[in-house]
């Protein structure tokens, strides 16, 4: 077996999406840090011999092995737009505030590369100040930062999942830029929303699904009919929600990845644990794309690039409105000031520039929701009741939303059973 050339440490590891993605590109996982008990069971099942930590606030930096790359997405719950503006605490929250502890460890160990992932809401959390603090802190530590909002649907999984990734490279703007951007430009993503209502299946064949699924949520194993923005499967005998196995496939994990041997596949509590863990995970194909590019840069000769060169290297920066500023001059503790961050950019030595870059790679990887759906009949517990169908329709109509047409018909049919 060929020895791995580069090593990776994972923090806020979850169920190992970062580690699986990096290992698929030839890296070796050296360390895993995760506090959630169920996720730790998954990690121990797949990486029984890898050193592990639990509480990032309690670990001693001397216990962390040396690695070329550190990766992790600090908990997103306090910055997610799904919580609503009034409930978002940003980096002041107990979960997302763990970024500062992560930064402390980075300062002490100084890995060459740091990869950070989080929800799109990070851009405007606390009026945009949270994202500014992250850029400011990482550049203060001597890292060049390239960030970009990407969507999993263009990387080979049929799920619309927008996430911001930051590649922070120690004292090397060129390598950070080459990891996150292409000189040939990104693939066009126009008319993307139509795939939510365009049928992927053939006429008169079941199951019926749209081409792309909505973003997976870290949800429970129960359903009350309160959420219309999930993806549902129209079967010949009713409407059902997606199974944990389908969730795994939508994130690019192998089948039954989140089913350690001690857990029962038919247990409702296990379902909840799996749904939540998978919904909080990173999409493995996106990580693979980043890991492959990091590996290439680790192996390449030294390059030099100034900020002005980035504007010439990234095609979208040349032709779109771009932003610039000096991070060192900004007081992000001023709660009265808000900041609007571009969805892509670079920061280095206290300054930043950015613009609007499509959330896709230069070569889009096609995928279809129909390909990951279980074709056999699944447990009836996943099917919607007439009450749940009625609840979804009521919320859709109240909000003036459009449903996938076969789903609308099937929900109406299910709702009618309540009146019989």
Which residues belong to the active site? 76
Report the b/e string of 164-175 with b at 16+ CB within 10 A.
bbbbbbbebbbb
Strand partners, 148: 165, 344
Residue 344: C-alpha distances to residues 82, 173, 177, 192, 307 (Å): 22, 14, 11, 19, 14
Return the closest-CA partner of residue 30 out of 48, 54, 59, 7. 7
Provide the 8-state DSSP code for 61: G
Do 73 and 39 touch, CB atoms closer than 8 A? no
Do 28 and 8 touch, CB atoms closer than 8 A? yes
Instruction: Give the contacts of 209 (CB within 8 A, at least 6 positions apart).
Output: 199, 200, 201, 231, 233, 234, 369, 370, 373, 404
Helices 405-416 and 386-399 cross at an angle (nearest 10°) of: 130
Instruction: Please tell me the distance from the alpha carbon of residue 316 to that of residue 304, in angstroms, as a whole number.
Output: 20
Instruction: Please tell me the distance from the alpha carbon of residue 112 to that of residue 69, in angstroms, as a whole number.
Output: 6
Token pair, residue 70, equals 């550190």
Report the b/e string of 240-265 with b at 16+ CB within 10 A.
bbbbbbbbbbbbbbeeebbbbeebee
Q: What is the DSSP string of 232-277?
A: EEEETTEEEEPPHHHHHHHTTPPTTTT--TTS-TT-HHHHHHHHHH
CA 236 to chain centre: 33
Token pair, residue 415, equals 């709702």
Do 129 and 337 touch, CB atoms closer than 8 A? yes
Total residues found in the chain within this entry:
420
Alpha helices in 24-128 (DSSP H): 37-46, 98-109
For tokens 């939510």, the residue is 196
Helices 37-46 and 268-279 cross at an angle (nearest 10°) of: 80
């Amino acid at each position: 077996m060929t020895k791995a050339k580069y090593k990776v440490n994972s923090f806020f590891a979850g169920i190992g999406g970062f580690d699986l993605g990096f290992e698929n590109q030839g890296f070796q996982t050296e360390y895993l840090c995760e506090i959630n008990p169920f996720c730790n069971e998954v990690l121990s099942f797949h990486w029984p011999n890898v050193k592990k930590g639990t509480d990032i606030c309690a670990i001693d930096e001397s216990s962390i092995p040396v690695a070329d790359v550190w990766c992790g997405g600090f908990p997103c719950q306090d910055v997610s737009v799904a919580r609503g503006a009034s409930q978002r605490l940003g980096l002041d929250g107990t979960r997302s505030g763990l970024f500062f502890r992560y930064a402390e460890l980075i300062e002490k160990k100084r890995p060459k590369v740091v990869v950070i992932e989080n929800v799109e809401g990070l851009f405007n959390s606390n009026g945009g100040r949270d994202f500014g603090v992250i850029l400011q802190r990482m550049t203060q530590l001597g890292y060049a930062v390239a960030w970009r909002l990407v969507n999993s649907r263009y990387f080979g999984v049929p799920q619309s999942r927008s996430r911001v990734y930051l590649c922070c490279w120690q004292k090397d703007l060129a390598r950070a830029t080459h990891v996150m951007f292409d000189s040939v430009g990104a693939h066009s993503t126009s008319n993307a929303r139509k795939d939510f209502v365009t049928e992927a299946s053939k006429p008169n064949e079941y199951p019926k699904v749209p081409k792309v699924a909505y973003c997976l949520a870290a949800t429970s194993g129960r359903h009350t009919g309160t959420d219309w923005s999930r993806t549902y499967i129209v079967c010949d005998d009713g409407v059902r929600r997606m199974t944990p196995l389908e969730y795994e496939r939508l994130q690019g994990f192998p089948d039954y990845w989140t089913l350690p041997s001690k857990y029962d596949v038919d247990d409702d509590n296990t379902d909840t644990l799996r749904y939540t863990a998978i919904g909080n995970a990173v999409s493995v194909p996106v990580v693979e794309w980043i890991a492959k590019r990091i590996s290439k840069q680790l192996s390449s000769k030294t390059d030099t690039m100034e900020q002005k060169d980035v504007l010439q290297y990234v095609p979208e920066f040349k032709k779109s409105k771009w932003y610039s500023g000096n991070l060192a001059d900004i007081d992000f503790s001023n709660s009265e000031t808000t900041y609007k961050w571009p969805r892509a950019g670079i920061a280095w030595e206290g300054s930043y520039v950015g613009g609007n870059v499509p959330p896709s790679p230069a070569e889009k990887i096609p995928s279809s929701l129909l390909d990951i759906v279980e074709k056999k009949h699944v447990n009836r517990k996943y099917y919607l009741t007439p009450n749940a169908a009625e609840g979804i329709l009521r919320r859709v109509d109240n909000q003036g939303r459009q449903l996938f047409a076969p789903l609308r018909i099937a929900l109406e049919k299910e709702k009618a059973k309540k009146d019989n």
